Amino acid sequence: MKALSTQGQTGQGARRLGKKKSFMRLAYEQRQLLVLCIPFLLFVLVFNYLPVVGWTMAFQNFSPAKGIFGSDFVGMANFVEAFNDTNFLNAIRNTLSTSFLKIIFSFFSAILLAVMLNEVRIIAFKRTVQTISYLPYFVSWVVASNIVYMVLSPSDGIINILLMKMGLISEGVPFMGEPKYFYMIIALSNVWKNVGWNAIIYLSAMTGIDQELYEAAAVDGAGRIRRILAVTIPCIMPTIKIMLVLQIGHLMNAGFEHVYLLSNPSNISASRTIDVYVYTYAMKGGRLSYGTAIGIFNSTVSIALIMISNWVSKKIDGYGIF
């Protein structure tokens, strides 16, 4: 918040100063620039900021017929209800577990892939692998979820077929039907979809490493594995740190589309994340005030986490995300 408010203040400062002297004059001089950006920013104001007015619903027993100004005020009742709602507490747990696993898996897989690609010296091979590995990033989660669903099918999904051929199981495991597999399914399918893309940032950090470091290490007798551990990894450490810190801000967000598309009645005890819960229970069930209260809780915690991660990343290398 701090970084943001400072920026905001200097902005307002400049504006006040301008007002004293020639705010109107500046506005007139730069009217063409205003014409180019204000219409679009008005849409941002309406679509991104105006919904915040709806937050008052969370403190009301909102009914669409009475509207925001006519509904009864109920104070914090919706928030109190949320924290006594076992389904909501379950949703918090699912959200944190899912996003934590997702972060860990996507993080390590991306670094591993980047390190491997960086060791490949046949450029055509490297390019081909990259091209293929980016592909799933560009298909929709609907398509990706269909693929996950097919691959994990108990009757003819390739995973079950392979497990059966290896003799590990005797009949197909209904992966999608059991809550205990759900977190892992999300984490691994997320790796499948995004690993190639996520590796880009580390790969580009690696291209900036000074080749002399490798030469010096080689002269000192370091083998390739040793050079990876002693040169490559330390050199991309700043990137690794920043990417990890940025992920903290996503802890309260398990990814709605992905989780919602793979959730079904039999795995709901693990797939009920906060946003899935808000959509399926509060919104479809017409509990608008309650859903808004949960949404506010989620947004507030997310923003707090982002502020923390911003603060940490500034401590680490002097750059924040704001």
Partner 1 sequence: MAVKTSASRGLVSKLPFYRRATTEDIVLDVFIYVCLLLLCVVTIYPFLNTLAYSFNDATDSIRGGIYLLPREWTLRNYEKILVGNPLIARSIVNSAIRAIIGGALSVFATLCVSYVFSRKDFFLRKVLTPFLVFTMYFSGGIIPQFLLMRNLGLINNFLVYLLLTMLSAYNVMVMRSYMDGLPDSLVEAAKIDGASEYRILFGIVLPLSMPVVATIALFVIVGQWNSWFDTMLYCSSEPKLTTLQYELQKLLTSAQNIASADAADAAMNSGDSKAAVTPTSIRTAMTIIAVVPILFIYPFLQKYFVKGLTIGGVKG
Kindly identify the residues of this chain, within the stretch 24-63, that bind partner 1 according to CB under 8 A: 26-27, 30, 32-34, 36-37, 40-41, 43-44, 46-55, 57
CB atoms < 10 A from the CB of 70, how many? Answer: 10
Residues 128-147 binding partner 1 (CB under 8 A) are 128-129, 131-136, 138-143, 145-147
Q: Helix 86-119 to helix 233-248 angle, to the nearest 10 degrees? A: 160
The answer to whether 171 and 193 have CB atoms below 8 angstroms apart is no
- If the CB atoms of residues 76 and 120 are measured against partner 1, the closer one turns out to be 120
Rounded least distance, CB 51 to partner 1, Å = 3
Site for partner 1 in 209-268 (CB under 8 A): 211, 214-215, 218, 223-225, 239, 249, 256-257, 261-265
Interior angle at CA 86, CA 81 and CA 90, nearest 5:
120
Distances (CA, A) of 303 to 76, 126, 290, 307, 308: 20, 39, 20, 6, 9
Q: Which of residues 274-293 bind partner 1 (CB under 8 A)?
A: 275, 278-279, 282-283, 288, 291-292
Which DSSP string corresponds to 62-111?
--TTTHHHHSEE-TTHHHHHHHT-HHHHHHHHHHHHHHHHHHHHHHHHHH
Q: One symbol per residue from 91 to 110: x for binding partner 1 (CB under 8 A), - otherwise; what is it?
A: --------------------
Pick the binder of partner 1 from 69, 86, 122, 166 (CB under 8 A): 122
Report how far residue 307's alpha carbon sits from residue 313's, in angstroms, rounded to the nearest whole number. Answer: 10
Nearer to partner 1, 100 or 137 (CB): 137
Q: Is 205 in the site for partner 1 (CB under 8 A)?
A: yes
Cβ contact 34:51 at 8 Å: no
66-85 binders of partner 1 (CB under 8 A): none
> Structure tokens of 260?
């919602």
DSSP label at residue 56: G
Q: Rounded to an integer, what distance in angstroms lies between the CA atom of residue 248 and that of residue 321?
A: 12
**At closest approach, how far in Å is the CB of 272 from partner 1?**
15
CB of 322 to partner 1, least distance (A): 7
Residue positions counted in the chain: 322
Piece of the chain touching partner 1 by CB under 8 A; list 14-22, 77-85, 87-95, 163-171: 14-22
